[in-house]
């Protein structure tokens, strides 16, 4: 009731969260711990992970994973959630439900072929030809700096529609590459993650440039230049 008085939106979110948590608990209670243990073992092997690798992902001991898979330790709600995140699956798969996850086709993956360096430059130009991403360019070189390096950055708190999503994607990508380097993820698993990620983000339409828009430039204290096209629709919203 307190939430309702303070904010209707907050109350609705709180009520939704409670219903989701209850549904989660009811679903888990429907299945025995033994069934969940068998599903965990099967999915772990499908992901080509051994018990030691899964333990490392969960920051647990290998013995803990052995106890779970042997049915000697009951699964808590929070543990099931952590396992689902570590295995990159929907938590319902652990209780036996088959979830159909969209996967991008090979033609979608090959939509932008990279055959030469010009293709890479062209792809970067396309990335900047939208109102929805605020792109930052960093360039450092002697004599001002000791090293010569350059980079592209996205401001997660920028005004672009997909600025935050872009940062979350890059964070997830970095984590997958780290797992790949430490043999915690197979190449097949990495390719599958790529296809799922492309399919997931394919529903997010971008706003193409219209006419001859003005460019907004922001120079940060670090010297980085941040660029964003000024969307004419923003002025209409303000009016």
pLDDT at 65: 92
| CA 156 to chain CA mean position, Å | 13
Examine the pLDDT at 29 and tell me if it is beyond 80: no
Average pLDDT over residues 4-15: 42
pLDDT above 70 as % of the chain = 68
In words, the CATH class of domain 31-95 is mainly alpha
Task: Summarize pLDDT for 96-151 with one digit per residue, the tens.
Answer: 765 555 555 666 666 667 889 998 888 888 887 887 888 888 888 888 888 888 88
Please name the residue that has the structure tokens 């989660």.
24
Largest separation between any pair of C-alpha atoms in the chain = 67
pLDDT at 111: 66
pLDDT at residue 139, rounded to an integer: 83
Residue 210 clears pLDDT 80, i.e. is over it: no
The 8-class DSSP code of residue 225 comes to E
What pTM, to 2 d.p., does this model score?
0.53
Answer whether residue 63 shows pLDDT above 90: yes
The DSSP output letter for 158 is: S
228 alpha-carbon distance from chain centroid? 23
Average pLDDT, stretch 205-233? 67
Instruction: Give residue limits of the domains in the chain.
Output: 31-95, 107-238
pLDDT of residue 70 exceeding 80, the answer is: yes
Spatial contact of 150 and 138, defined as CB atoms under 8 Å apart: yes
Q: What's the average model confidence in pLDDT over 140-168?
A: 85
Local confidence band at 227 (pLDDT 50, 70, 90 cut-offs): low
Helix (H, G, I), strand (E, B) or coil at 72: coil
**Residue 235 pLDDT class (50, 70, 90 cuts):** low
């Amino acid at each position: 009731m307190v939430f309702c008085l303070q904010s209707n939106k907050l109350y609705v979110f709180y009520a939704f969260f409670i219903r989701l948590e209850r549904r989660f608990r009811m679903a888990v209670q429907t299945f025995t711990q033994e069934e969940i243990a068998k599903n965990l073992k099967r999915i772990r092997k499908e992901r080509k992970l051994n018990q030691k690798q899964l333990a490392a992902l969960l920051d647990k001991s290998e013995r803990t994973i052995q106890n779970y898979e042997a049915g000697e330790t009951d699964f808590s709600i929070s543990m099931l959630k952590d396992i689902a995140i570590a295995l990159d699956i929907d938590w319902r798969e652990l209780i036996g439900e088959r979830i159909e996850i969209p996967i991008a086709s090979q033609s979608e993956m090959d939509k932008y072929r990279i055959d030469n360096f010009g293709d890479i430059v062209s792809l970067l130009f396309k990335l900047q030809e939208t109102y929805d991403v605020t792109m930052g360019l960093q360039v450092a070189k002697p004599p001002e700096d000791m090293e010569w390096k350059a980079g592209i950055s996205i401001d997660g708190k920028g005004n672009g529609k997909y600025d935050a999503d872009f940062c979350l994607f890059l964070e997830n990508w970095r984590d997958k590459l780290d797992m790949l380097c430490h043999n915690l993820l197979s190449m097949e698993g990495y390719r599958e993650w790529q296809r799922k990620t492309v399919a997931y983000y394919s529903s997010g339409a971008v706003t193409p440039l219209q006419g001859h828009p003005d460019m907004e430039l922001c120079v940060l204290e670090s010297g980085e230049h941040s660029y964003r096209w000024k969307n004419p629709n923003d002025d209409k919203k303000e009016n």
